[in-house]
């Protein structure tokens, strides 16, 4: 029996940034959500609330992306992993311009998929 290799926590964090919250195409975004999130995953946003399940995560990711379709997420350093948790610090903004905002995503994974992701907004780095 062939063993499937689970993605690393770092891969999940970066795919969440780029393939979910950074993706403008709704079909590609939903495919990524189905691949990397548990069916009952939870996304905690300090500004707008708690989103439970793939459908709600898909909906809020689309809403967020629509507010700034040209913004791109850039990790400030490689993701960090501890046990079944990980985090990545990032900035976001229009290409070629100073970042508009910064944040940290903290994630808990189970069985190679995101079970919960917590968004924290940070001060912009100097």
Fold of the 9-122 domain? Nuclear Transport Factor 2; Chain: A, (3.10.450)
Give the per-residue pLDDT at 4: 52
Domain boundaries, the chain: 9-122
Asked if residue 125 has pLDDT above 90, the reply is no
What are the tens digits of pLDDT across the range 68-90? 999 999 999 999 999 999 999 99
* First and final C-alpha spacing in the chain: 52
pLDDT in tens, 1-41: 544 556 799 999 999 999 999 999 999 999 999 999 999 99
Q: How far apart are CA 95 and CA 3, in angstroms?
A: 40
């Amino acid at each position: 029996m062939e063993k499937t290799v689970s993605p690393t926590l770092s891969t999940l964090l970066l795919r969440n940034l780029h393939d979910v919250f950074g993706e403008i195409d709704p079909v590609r975004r939903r495919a990524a959500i189905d691949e990397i999130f548990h069916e009952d995953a939870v996304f905690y946003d300090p500004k707008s609330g708690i989103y439970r399940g793939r459908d709600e995560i898909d909906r809020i990711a689309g809403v967020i992306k629509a507010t700034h379709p040209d913004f791109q997420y850039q990790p400030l350093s490689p993701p960090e992993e501890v046990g079944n948790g990980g985090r990545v610090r990032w900035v976001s903004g229009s290409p070629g311009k100073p970042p508009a905002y910064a944040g940290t995503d903290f994630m808990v994974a189970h069985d190679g998929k995101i079970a919960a992701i917590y968004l924290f907004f940070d001060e912009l780095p100097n």
